Amino acid sequence: YTLFNAPIFGEFQIGADIIVDKLHDCVKDATGVALYPIRIFFGAYCCYITLSQTLHGKGDSNGSGSGTSIGNRKHKASAYRKTAKVCKQMLKKWIQGGNPNLTHCLSMLNAEKCVLKRKYDNAVGHYRAAIDFTRKRGFIHMEGLATERLAYCLLVQGEREDASALHEASIRLFSDWGADKKVEVMESRWQRAIERGGR
């Protein structure tokens, strides 16, 4: 369950390290198991965000940062990139094979890849697509996650008012989902992010 909780609570490096270590097992066990596509998605998601932290040399605005040195994280960067690519390819295959419930996952990965390249306008478009998809299907926690990440993306661009509105929307979504601890974590991290200008 750690891999499921890590991206929800902003512990992205923990999730990235798990999927890098366990990718072979995930690939081997993925066929025919309903939860594995989401596990693969969360792993890739954590890898992209941790890679952004590593290459940008900063803790992510939506995460707790890392206790490891930047040098050590840079050493892991190639593993994060390779793992994210493999996971993303798996998701694409499942979607092409007719799985209708993973489109938002691919949109969110595309968004984080754009963030990695600092193409924030493109990232916003991908996140809005993910939000629309999850809202229509009632995937409330995934809508909350996409909305939360979009808020940080806008904050980095200096769009503080819109970012704050989205942050409040994501809090409402997670509250409706019953994730009180998540909401508590979100509120404390958002204040720190405001002080850092989203960084």
Q: What's at 2, amino acid-wise?
A: T
pLDDT in tens, 69-103: 555 666 788 999 999 999 999 999 999 999 889 99
Q: Residue with structure tokens 């404390």?
A: 188
Residues of the chain under the 50 pLDDT cut: 59-61, 65-67
Phi-psi region of 66 (alpha: psi -120 to 50; beta: other; left: phi over 0): beta
Domain boundaries, position 84: 2-196
Q: What's at 25, amino acid-wise?
A: D
Cβ-proximal residues to 110 (8 Å cutoff; 6+ apart), any chain: 126
Rounded CA-CA distance 181/193 in Å is: 18
Q: What DSSP string describes 158-178?
A: T-HHHHHHHHHHHHHHHHHHT
User: What CATH number corresponds to the domain at position 110?
Assistant: 1.25.40
Task: Count how many domains the chain has.
Answer: 1
Q: What is the DSSP letter of 94?
A: H
CA-wise closest residue to 168 among 192, 144, 185:
144
- Note the pTM of the prediction, 2 decimals: 0.87
* pLDDT for the residue numbered 63: 55
Rounded CA-CA distance 154/157 in Å is: 5
